[in-house]
């Protein structure tokens, strides 16, 4: 997969060179490139924003600069995948979920446009949308200063799902927001007593059936307490079938 990120703070994205994403890039599973939006300006001050039509506070990012940047970065070329998909992180986007991350793993080329200030002139998404899929997405119901932190989130969530990136694919199966739709159960390691706190007895029992039943109950209880919205969205018949299998 190829991923291009465009930002006025390319250094913000330098952590993508670390850990699992960095290794995926070094081993060739991922072709990751970060660009400075100001490389597409043509004035001495390298201006990327201007005042909003209609008035109001703050500044809006200029369509001409973003248009030039995205026309270049999204253009199919030698060795470049044909259809790039543009992602625009914004608090007014559709929710970024595990399901969306899974769908994005089917893309061969993602381009992430990180806006700042009050956002990017709306015509940029229209212009790119005439040639490419465009998804405006939000990573949660809170406001950030720009799309960079969201771009880090999206890249990590998508890249860890690519074949060969996570060492043990089984660790992708049981996690929170997996297919079961439940939060993950609590986990423990040695020592069995720490600071007077004991690991639940069932986990030391060696009884796989009881362990599986306990974990399932914990996942259900956690989900009910912390995310009743997730529990309400689950298919009751599917829940029952999964329970009877234990």
Q: Which residues bind ligand 6GU (CB under 6 A)?
A: 89-91, 93, 137-140, 142-144, 146-147, 150
CA dist., res. 82 & res. 199, Å (int): 52
Please identify, using beta-carbon distances, which residue of 138 and 223 lies nearer to ligand 6GU. 138
CA dist., res. 179 & res. 97, Å (int): 12
Cα 6 to chain center, whole Å?
A: 16
Q: Which residues of 2-38 are buried (b: 16+ CB within 10 A; e: fewer)?
A: bbbbbbbebebbeebeeeebbebbeeeebbbebbebe
Q: How far is the CB of 70 from ligand 6GU (least distance, A)?
A: 17
Please identify, using beta-carbon distances, which residue of 9 and 81 lies nearer to ligand 6GU. 9
Closest-by-Cβ residue to ligand 6GU is 89
- Is residue 60 marked as binding? no
Please identify, using beta-carbon distances, which residue of 139 and 155 lies nearer to ligand 6GU. 139
Q: How far is the CB of 100 from ligand 6GU (least distance, A)?
A: 12
- Is residue 209 marked as binding? no
- Is residue 3 marked as binding? no
CA-atom Rg of the chain in angstroms = 22
CA dist., res. 6 & res. 32, Å (int): 11
Please identify, using beta-carbon distances, which residue of 137 and 182 lies nearer to ligand 6GU. 137
The set of residues, in sequence order, having a beta carbon less than 8 Å from that of 42 and lying 6+ positions away, is none
Q: How far is the CB of 209 from ligand 6GU (least distance, A)?
A: 42
- Is residue 143 marked as binding? yes
Residue 116 burial (C-beta neighbours within 10 Å; 0-12, 13-18, 19+): buried
Q: How far is the CB of 9 from ligand 6GU (least distance, A)?
A: 12
Please identify, using beta-carbon distances, which residue of 63 and 91 lies nearer to ligand 6GU. 91
- Is residue 140 marked as binding? yes
Q: How far is the CB of 211 from ligand 6GU (least distance, A)?
A: 37
Please identify, using beta-carbon distances, which residue of 144 and 242 lies nearer to ligand 6GU. 144
Q: How far is the CB of 96 from ligand 6GU (least distance, A)?
A: 7
- Which residue ranges are tagged as binding site? 115, 139-144
- Which residue ranges are tagged as binding site for S-adenosyl-L-methionine? 115, 139-144
């Amino acid at each position: 997969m190829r991923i291009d990120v465009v930002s006025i703070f390319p250094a913000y994205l330098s952590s993508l060179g670390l850990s699992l994403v960095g290794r995926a890039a070094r081993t060739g599973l991922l072709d990751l490139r970060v660009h400075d939006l100001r490389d597409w300006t043509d004035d001495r001050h390298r201006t990327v924003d201007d005042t909003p039509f209609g008035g109001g506070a703050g500044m809006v990012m200029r369509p001409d600069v973003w248009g030039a940047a995205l026309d270049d970065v999204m253009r199919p070329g030698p060795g470049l995948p044909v259809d790039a998909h543009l992602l625009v992180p914004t608090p007014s986007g559709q929710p970024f979920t595990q399901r969306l991350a899974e769908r994005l793993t089917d893309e061969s080329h993602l381009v992430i446009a990180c806006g700042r200030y009050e956002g990017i002139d709306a015509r940029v998404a229209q212009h790119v949308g005439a040639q490419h899929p465009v998804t405006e997405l939000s990573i949660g119901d809170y406001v950030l200063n720009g799309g960079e932190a969201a771009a880090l989130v999206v890249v990590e969530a998508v890249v860890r799902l690519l074949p060969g990136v996570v060492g043990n694919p089984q660790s992708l199966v049981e996690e929170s927001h997996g297919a079961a739709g439940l939060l993950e159960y609590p986990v423990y390691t040695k020592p069995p007593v720490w600071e007077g706190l004991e690991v639940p007895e069932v986990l030391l029992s060696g009884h796989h059936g009881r362990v599986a039943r306990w974990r399932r109950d914990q996942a259900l209880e956690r989900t009910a307490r912390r995310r009743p919205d997730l529990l309400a969205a689950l298919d009751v018949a599917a829940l029952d079938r999964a329970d009877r299998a234990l």
